[in-house]
Amino acid sequence: MIEAVDLTKRYGSKTAVDNISFTIEPGTVTGFLGPNGAGKSTTMRLIMGLDKPTSGKVTVNGRPYRDLEAPLCEVGALLDAKGLHGSRSARAHLTQLAASNGIPTRRVDEVLELTGLTNVAKKRVKGFSLGMGQRLGMAAAMLGDPDVLIFDEPVNGLDPEGVKWVRETCRHLADEGRTVFISSHLMSEMAQTADHLLVIGRGRILTSGPVEEVIASATTDVVRVASPQAGELAGLLAGQGIELESPESGVLTTTTTTAARIGELAAHNGIVLHELTTQRASLEEAYLELTGGEVEYSTTSTDAAMTSHRAD
């Protein structure tokens, strides 16, 4: 597992990571979310020993990265897919990495197969698309068969088939009992891939927990009810102190009670219902709610910008 205690990283006067503590558990996919500049990559670099904390500490399986005896066999990371040496083939790149870490060469063919790169193993990395580079980065991360995997923006540049592959690979790795820690800006993808979330803004933890709990804590469920007796139902519910809106004829919505209560009240009073649903907010809505005040790099609204442009 990964454990951070009072972890802080400053670059001059800029505090990139501000006294954060968290535990990333085995057997789960943990999604790492936050606006641009929130400190995600810095946190991942600190975990991988590529940067030194200003204060506090972060450990992998109980030890700082630098103290791990066979680091590639304990933690693998995809941090920057662009950092590949162009003139070598994918196989040569992985073979050299395996040799310098005491990993048997046969493992190279296994990870090429796992990442779907077998057919392009002899191609120079220079000709690789962004998506192929991402796959090669993940192959390198998996080379030492580590228990802990860290992927920074793994679906960046991947086509839909590649995105699905990353999702299934992360799931599979977690189901094998490994610790999987991934960052992404694609909320719908994260909602499908992650079990747990760690959300940061301006270097601080905004919230963490199971995906469903994070969504529930930041948003409110809307109950929608459609009835041919909507007027009668509205009077009945209002009499119970339930606040209502009517977005369209014959439809009522509320955030102040449950579908079960409305169903019971309607049944008790012989009111016919055509629809009764609880609409749960999406992870994207919860994320925007959580990070609204934490965005470092923001724009004016697109509408305002376009209007002002047209007026020029």
Task: Tell the burial category of 160 from Cβ atoms under 10 Å away from its Cβ (0-12, 13-18, 19+).
Answer: exposed
Q: Report in angstroms how near the CB of residue 9 gets to ligand ATP at its nearest.
A: 8
Nearer to ligand ATP by Cβ, of 156 and 227: the residue is 156
Number of residues that bind ligand ATP (CB under 6 A): 11
Binding flag, residue 23, ligand ATP (CB under 6 A): no
> Is the CB of residue 286 less than 8 Å from the CB of residue 215?
yes
Nearer to ligand ATP by Cβ, of 36 and 220: the residue is 36
Nearest residue to 262 via CA among 247, 243, 282: 243
Quick one: which segment of 38-46, 72-80, 126-134, 232-240 binds ligand ATP (CB under 6 A)? 38-46
* DSSP conformational letter for 107: H
* DSSP conformational letter for 119: G
Chain centre to alpha carbon of residue 212:
13
Binding flag, residue 36, ligand ATP (CB under 6 A): yes
**Contact pick of 20, 30, 40, 218 for ligand ATP (by CB under 6 A):** 40
Binding flag, residue 135, ligand ATP (CB under 6 A): no
Other Cβ atoms within 10 Å of 3 Cβ, number: 17
First-residue to last-residue Cα distance in the chain:
56
Binding flag, residue 41, ligand ATP (CB under 6 A): yes
> Is the CB of residue 149 less than 8 Å from the CB of residue 28?
no
Binding flag, residue 16, ligand ATP (CB under 6 A): yes
Q: Report in angstroms how near the CB of residue 136 gets to ligand ATP at its nearest.
A: 20
Q: Report in angstroms how near the CB of residue 57 gets to ligand ATP at its nearest.
A: 18
Quick one: which segment of 9-17, 20-28, 98-106, 302-310 binds ligand ATP (CB under 6 A)? 9-17
**Contact pick of 2, 24, 33, 38 for ligand ATP (by CB under 6 A):** 38
d(CA 202, CA 160): 31
Read off the amino acid at residue 170.
C
Binding flag, residue 11, ligand ATP (CB under 6 A): yes
